[in-house]
Amino acid sequence: MRNPFRYFKTSPEIIRLAVMMYVRFPLSLRQVEDLLHERGIDICHETVRAWWNRFGPIFAADIRRKRSASMRSHIQWRWHLDEVFVRINGKVYYLWRAVDHEGEVLEVFVTKRRDRKAALRFLRKAMKRYGRPEVVVTDRLRSYCAAMNVIGNAERQKTGRWLNNRAENSHQPFRRRERAMAKFRNGKSLQKFASIHASIHNHFNQERHLYTREDFKLNRSIALAEWRQLAA
């Protein structure tokens, strides 16, 4: 693999830090610029924009490749599927999201419609990467049922009033980040950022309420150490 930093004078450590701050936290480009300035790093906010556009997909793909390889070796017990709408330039786009029973974001997919065709493309994309789950939890949107009838696993679908809280709660980190960005330019930019955000969120999501303070600190240190080795 070629070194993606070979044409950049700035150190990879600074680039990784800037990308992590912008994607992971609800910060604007100028806020990242100010925070880096406090650390003695003098860059323009447009440089932060260029870095996350250039290196965000590289880091996300590296994370996704490692995590999907390990997840395919285990039985996919339960998936939760849901969709949210995002308004861009007066038009409504739908962001489909699949999370597993532990809250890991498996797949994100942007469409202009939420019909059977869109749901089918979303399901096939997720299953191609992770395999078929034992149970698929959805809301009562008819597109899911129609798509799963085509795939042939309609008997694995479950719907219920409170069953899909896992998927609905998983929207919150992205929604907070979306509000800080103000808006997206088009559906392609939404797809790009949502995919990058999902991978980086998965990498740093430690579910601290399940661990002691000492275990959480250890897991956080491991995640940071792995982050510093991305695209190395």
Region 82-86: mean pLDDT is 94
Report the CATH number of the 75-183 domain: 3.30.420.10
Region 96-117: mean pLDDT is 93
| pTM metric for this prediction | 0.91
| Angle, CA 98 vertex, CA 18 and CA 169 arms, to 5° | 75
Tens of pLDDT, residue by residue over 8-64, are 999 999 999 999 999 999 999 999 999 999 999 999 999 999 999 999 999 999 999
% pLDDT > 90, the chain: 70
| Angle, CA 29 vertex, CA 28 and CA 35 arms, to 5° | 90
In this model, does residue 77 exceed pLDDT 90? Answer: no
When pLDDT is cut at 50, 70 and 90, the band that residue 209 belongs to is confident
Look over the chain and give the mean of its residue pLDDT values, rounded to a whole number. Answer: 91
Contact 121, 217 (CB under 8 A): no
When pLDDT is cut at 50, 70 and 90, the band that residue 80 belongs to is very high
pLDDT at 102: 84
- Provide the angle, in degrees to the nearest 10, between the axes of the packed helices 165-181 and 187-204: 120
Residue span(s) of the chain under CATH 3.30.420.10 come to 75-183
When pLDDT is cut at 50, 70 and 90, the band that residue 1 belongs to is low
pLDDT at 182: 74
**Amino acid identity, residue 119?**
A
In this model, does residue 103 exceed pLDDT 80? Answer: yes
In this model, does residue 70 exceed pLDDT 80? Answer: no
CA R_g for the chain: 19
